[in-house]
Amino acid sequence: MIASTPTTDMTWRLLWSHTARHVISEVPTDSLIEQVSAGYGWGLRRSDNPLQAILVHPTSNEREAGDLSLTVLGQGTHVIPRANSSYQDYVGLVADAVETAARFYLSSSAQ
């Protein structure tokens, strides 16, 4: 295991922040959904109700479980498990989780 230093930690966060941005940019949305950023995270929120939002961000705790976490405003934060997946497979799992959360929490019927 690589020892964590401020430089390696920052590099890790920036790389996973970039991945989060890429995932969010690929999620199909409608005109009421806008992309947002917060810290190292990227997300989506309803423009007519900013309290309906999701955010994908580098995991702060339990990094050994997964590199990215999904926060649903008002519902909590969950690590997206990596389970020894390749980078490409993991990004696919994250994209699936984000699309499901967006469909469920950001749809007009969720208001």
Domain boundaries, the chain: 6-110
Write out pLDDT tens, residues 30-69: 889 999 999 999 999 999 999 999 999 999 877 788 999 9
From edge to edge, which strands make up the β-sheet containing 49-58? 33-38, 41-46, 49-58, 68-72, 76-80
The average pLDDT across 67-86 equals 95
71 — pLDDT class (breaks 50, 70, 90):
very high
The pTM of the full predicted model, rounded to 2 decimals, is 0.88
The average pLDDT across 1-25 equals 88
In CATH, the architecture of 6-110 is 2-Layer Sandwich (3.30)
pLDDT for the residue 1: 46
